[in-house]
A and B are shown apart, each in its own frame.
Chain A
């Protein structure tokens, strides 16, 4: 016992080795690492050089930014005044010009709610309620209820119509999908068979077919006194289609929840229904946020199919604008613009989804 007790002193932490790489070294390791890498790099460079300068020249350098079709034809580049001239039609269709503030207000409300959701100002039941109430208010506003000048649904169109179809589709089909997934996962054998049948039936049919059935066949089977307009029928068709896919996405999330979660909640005396609603479903949805956002993006792009059943959505208006005799020969600009708008909306959704994922307890793990 004469020995002195040794005192443990942790050795000083050293900084991690530097990972900074010089530009030349980066090039060598990433682009010219082997003869195969070099070949690929050169090939892709050649392809890019062959068309990117011409594309940029057409898009920006030779392009016309103001003027009319005559100037466009002289300049030879892209004709952007054409898009400017058609802009309102592309956004809201033949909706009356003096009432254009209504869709504008609705769009601002949508962006505001998306911001409030992201910034976590609204939570829980209030948040969910807000997302259900927003499209209802927007619909009343755009249709013109409560003594306002009403606007017939046949004059709704453009990007406004695309976004409305997608937004209502997503907002209604997520709860429907959750119900279907719960039915398939927890339901009695009969419920299970019903849910599986619905899901597999809807998933096994192309969306186009469902839109045709909604537009053409549904009126034949409904009683004569029950008249549902074409837009609503198509919206219902899209919701049914989307619900089936959402159900499968949510089911994946339900399978990832450990049994102990439900047991903990039940053992505290919480009813099975509340356990599912407040413990199981929120966690399942959080698990499947990435594929859920993917379904939202897909549904937005799918709205472009409604042109086939006579609705003039954004793509429909693009097509119409391209055929305008005053601006004949500028289809390319119209479709480039369409591609840009679809990409901008979908990419924003994708970024928004990624931001939502990063928030909350999962990121702490």
Chain B
């Protein structure tokens, strides 16, 4: 419970603010009037059935998807069409993908040094020192000279997390980070994420790992049909969901 207290202390500082955000893919309305405020250090889990718009929602935050209506403010910077603005927001917002998306033509160490060297203009030596620090933290220091194709899925995802951390982001987005992993590898990735949460990182995580949501999240958001249906702190969310749609989803996902 002490963890919960910390986050409520920091809650006065808003780092992400989405106001009436709408997005369409052609005629398909994916995001409908999304309003979401994230405080510094807050850990949010977003869940919902597939196609509910949860991935699209977090991909709008670093502008991998463009929203058509509404306002998104990240760390006091407006997200608009200004490329310089977008790039500077992206440097501060890390993202971890379902498919890892490591660069297969680079070694693990090169993967980690790429963005610090080419986007932050850090000297290579300094970038490598940071990279090795994070690789050790996720437990892959010994594999630094291998190529991504030589690692297991769980190792690749841990490298991907370390790669994002090398840019020293203030916010981390996770887009179903364990969905492409074999069951025996999910834990090693979740452990890294839990450790990251303990450092006070602001995290938005799309996941179906409900045990992770229960133990780590400050807030759980349930989405369906492009809308935020329900949001609450995890105990209340899991134990007494208010909306029937949420109840149905939880019974489906927790029944097995």
Contacts and interface: CB of A to CB of B under 8 A. Distances in A.
Interface of A: 258, 260-261, 263-272, 274, 278-279, 282-283, 286, 360-362, 364-365
Contacts of A264: 95, 97, 101-103, 160
Contacts of A283: 103-105
A362 B106 CA distance: 11
A230 B147 CA distance: 49
Given A269-B90, A269-B91, A283-B103, 6 more contacts: A263-B97, A267-B64, A269-B120, A272-B83, A274-B118, A361-B147
Given A260-B97, A278-B118, A364-B150, A267 B105 contact: no
A261 B150 contact: no
Contacts of A266: 64, 90
Contact of B114 (A267, A270, A360): A270
Contacts of B104: 283, 361-362
B88 A278 contact: no
Nearest to A285: B105
Given A269-B119, A270-B119, A271-B119, A364 B149 contact: yes
B109 interface: no
26 contacts: A260-B99, A264-B95, A264-B102, A264-B103, A265-B115, A267-B90, A267-B94, A267-B164, A268-B91, A268-B164, A269-B87, A269-B88, A269-B90, A269-B91, A269-B167, A270-B115, A270-B119, A272-B83, A274-B118, A278-B118, A279-B103, A282-B105, A283-B105, A361-B147, A362-B104, A365-B149
A225 B176 CA distance: 65
B163 interface: yes
Main SS of the interface on chain A?
A: helix
Interface of B: 62, 64, 83, 87-88, 90-95, 97, 99, 101-105, 114-115, 118-120, 147-150, 160, 163-164, 167
Contacts of B83: 271-272
A361 B99 CA distance: 18
Nearest to B92: A269
A264 B114 CA distance: 11
Q: Which of B83, B87, B92, B163 has the most CB of A within 10 A?
A: B87
A274 B104 CA distance: 17
B103 to A, nearest CB: 6
Nearest to B120: A269
B90 A268 contact: yes
Contacts of A270: 114-115, 118-119
A264 B62 CA distance: 11
A267 B114 CA distance: 12
A286 B104 CA distance: 11
Contacts of B64: 263, 266-267
A274 B164 CA distance: 17
